[in-house]
Chain A
Amino acid sequence: NAGVTQTPKFQVLKTGQSMTLQCAQDMNHNSMYWYRQDPGMGLRLIYYSASEGTTDKGEVPNGYNVSRLNKREFSLRLESAAPSQTSVYFCASEAHRAETQYFGPGTRLLVL
């Protein structure tokens, strides 16, 4: 039981490049989340998926798109990376509303 896994662990991009961050969970959870963590800002919600087939914007969705591919997988795409998107990205999942969130190990992204 791996929990929540994220790939890649670390990525360097040039401004304007695109990439997709992958997240998968093997706990049969309904809800999945993408956060970014910046120094002094705490974690901020980018997008979430309350159930398979649905996605909704969080606090900071601009510049990102998401896909809930199936119940297990939730990907985050940067279409045209900007230096302001340099951050640590965390994926999380939750069995049902108002239950414990489980986090992945994070992806460290540097945009030059």
Chain B
Amino acid sequence: KQEVTQIPAALSVPEGENLVLNCSFTDSAIYNLQWFRQDPGKGLTSLLLIQSSQREQTSGRLNASLDKSSGRSTLYIAASQPGDSATYLCAVSGTGNQFYFGTGTSLTVIP
């Protein structure tokens, strides 16, 4: 069974800092990997989707990379802002329709 781990569980940074969130998975036979954002008491919002054949995706200040062979992905957030404070989740899908989620990294950006 696919296991997805996110480290650290919580992160606090001053505004303006660049930061990296990590995601690792045990089975490299994935279909795609998605990064989501979840605000307290809310649903998930998709940030970036990387197909298994891709190495990275970018959207604004966000950049996600994928190294399938080593079972790792990173989400890079440039010039962090207080509005970036949220929990960030990664999820991987395999050859079936199963999606496996990490437990998330709770990010606090301090003004």
A-side residues, CB < 8 A to B, are: 4, 31, 33, 35, 40-45, 48, 50, 56, 58-59, 90, 92, 97-106
**A58/B98 in contact, CB under 8 A:** yes
Distance, CA A78 to CA B93, complexed state (A): 26
- Pick the contact of B97 from A43, A44, A50, A90 — CB < 8 Å? A50
With both beta carbons as reference points, the residue of chain B lying nearest to A41 in the complex is identified as B103
Interface of A is mostly: strand
Is B101 interfacial (CB 8 A cutoff)? yes
**B42/A105 in contact, CB under 8 A:** yes
* Chain B interface size, under 10 / 10 to 19 / 20 to 34 / 35 or more: 20 to 34
**A100/B49 in contact, CB under 8 A:** yes
Q: What are 28 of the A-B contact pairs (CB < 8 Å)? A: A31-B97, A35-B101, A41-B103, A42-B4, A42-B89, A42-B103, A42-B104, A43-B44, A43-B99, A43-B101, A44-B101, A48-B97, A56-B97, A58-B98, A59-B100, A97-B31, A97-B97, A98-B31, A98-B51, A98-B93, A100-B46, A101-B34, A101-B44, A101-B46, A101-B91, A103-B36, A103-B45, A105-B43
